[in-house]
Amino acid sequence: MTATDHTHVVVHPDADLLARATASRFLLALIDAQSVTSPVHVALTGGSILVDTLRAVAADPLRDAVDWTSVHVWWGDERFAPQGHPDRNDGDAHAALFSAVPLPPENIHAVPGPDRVADVAAAARAYSEELERYAPEGARVPELAVVLLGMGPDGHVASLFPGRPSLDVDALGALAETDSPKPPPERVSLTLPTLCSADQVWLVVSGEGKAPAVAAALAGTSLPESQGGTDDGSSVPAGRVHARGRTLWLLDLPATTALPTA
Ligand SMILES: O=C(O)[C@H](O)[C@@H](O)[C@H](O)[C@H](O)COP(=O)(O)O
């Protein structure tokens, strides 16, 4: 199904196939990008389907066709917690994938936690500086080949939540969220323009509980406050993410159940 010229919806029968197909698609995207450029920058995030996807990447034989030494991993968002804390997204990714592929530790760009910086604002500043260090001459952020995003039932992506001022930050780089409705409250997130600067953004969404937010995002509308939305007609955060190249919605069947039938 095609939603717009650059936004496409792909539906897999269930969550397991969604994770495995996204994993193969991700590996092919890395291999493809590596045929024309090096290094290749990607951004990952947290959430259950994303971690399942990273596990599937580790189990996919195509992983051996990737030159992991030229892959750089960034975080779409990270919870402000010390290294090794179970809240952190990077711990899950390490267990699911990084421990299984020869990705050099210096290519994994972790967001600093309270064990390294004074507060979440300092963490966001440090991450923005790190992004700039890897950006092409004159740019603020690296060229992200693929950004993988999960989505919450309220339509949030990374740590950009409905109705929060973070959604209106128009600078490239990272921002601090201090009052996330999803715990923990303190997080660092890439800004919306940074997500949209990527060549491709893939929104990987599973389950019927997210079906209303999928429908709202694709229609560019809000959700009622009772579902964590703003009820003001503005698009849920996920509906505001449009990659420079291709925006892919990768869904399982239950996540499509609120979409209008063609
Ligand atoms: O740190 C986080 O909490 C995430 O990055 C967040 O944006 C997540 O991807 C969605 O909330 C989906 O998470 P689930 O798949 O677990 O619902």
Percent of the chain with pLDDT over 90: 97
Query: What is the distance in A from the centroid of ligand 1 to the CA of 19?
Result: 15
CA distance 176 to 190: 9
Question: Does the beta carbon of 46 lie inside 6 Å of ligand 1?
Answer: yes
Atom of ligand 1 nearest to the CA of 79: 1
pLDDT of 242 reads: 96
Of all helices (H) and strands (E), which one includes residue 249? strand 246-252
Is 95 strand, coil or helix? helix
Protein residue closest via CA to atom 4 of ligand 1: 46
Number of neighbouring beta carbons within 10 Å of residue 189 = 29
pLDDT of 167 reads: 96
* Mean pLDDT calculated for residue range 59-67: 98
Question: Does the beta carbon of 153 lie inside 6 Å of ligand 1?
Answer: no
CA distance 67 to 143: 18
> Does residue 63 have a pLDDT over 90?
yes
Query: What is the distance in A from the centroid of ligand 1 to the CA of 45?
Result: 7
Alpha-carbon distance values, 105 to 55, 72, 73, 101 (Å): 18, 10, 10, 11
DSSP string, 151-176: --TT--BTTB-TT-GGGG--SSSEEE
Entry field: residues in the chain: 262
Query: What is the distance in A from the centroid of ligand 1 to the CA of 137?
Result: 32
**Chain centroid, CA 145 distance in Å:** 12
pLDDT of 261 reads: 79
pLDDT of 2 reads: 42
Question: Does the beta carbon of 182 lie inside 6 Å of ligand 1?
Answer: yes
The answer to whether the peptide bond before residue 184 is cis (omega within 30 degrees of 0) is: yes
ipTM summary value: 0.96
* Mean pLDDT calculated for residue range 114-127: 98
> Does residue 66 have a pLDDT over 50?
yes
Alpha-carbon distance values, 166 to 38, 86, 98, 161 (Å): 32, 25, 30, 8
| Cβ 49 vs Cβ 119: under 8 Å | no
Virtual torsion, Cα 161, 167, 171, 177, nearest 10 deg = -40
Protein residue closest via CA to atom 16 of ligand 1: 47
Widest pairwise Cα distance in the chain: 52
Tens digits of per-residue pLDDT, 6-30? 899 999 999 999 999 999 999 999 9
* Mean pLDDT calculated for residue range 153-172: 97
Residue 60 neighbours by CB under 8 Å, 6+ apart: 20, 23, 24, 27
> Does residue 1 have a pLDDT over 60?
no
Question: Does the beta carbon of 99 lie inside 6 Å of ligand 1?
Answer: no
Strands 174-177 and 40-44, by their bridges, are unpaired
* Mean pLDDT calculated for residue range 224-248: 95
Tens digits of per-residue pLDDT, 178-194? 999 999 999 999 999 99
Residue 42: burial class (beta carbons within 10 Å; 0-12, 13-18, 19+)? buried
> Does residue 4 have a pLDDT over 80?
no
Query: What is the distance in A from the centroid of ligand 1 to the CA of 44?
Result: 11
* Mean pLDDT calculated for residue range 57-79: 98
**Degrees, nearest 5: CA angle 77-137-36:** 80
Question: Does the beta carbon of 47 lie inside 6 Å of ligand 1?
Answer: yes
Question: Does the beta carbon of 150 lie inside 6 Å of ligand 1?
Answer: yes
In the block, residue with structure tokens 């936004």 = 7
For domain 2-256, which architecture applies?
3-Layer(aba) Sandwich (3.40)
Atom of ligand 1 nearest to the CA of 149: 9
pTM value is: 0.96
Tens digits of per-residue pLDDT, 76-113? 999 999 999 999 999 999 999 999 999 999 999 999 99
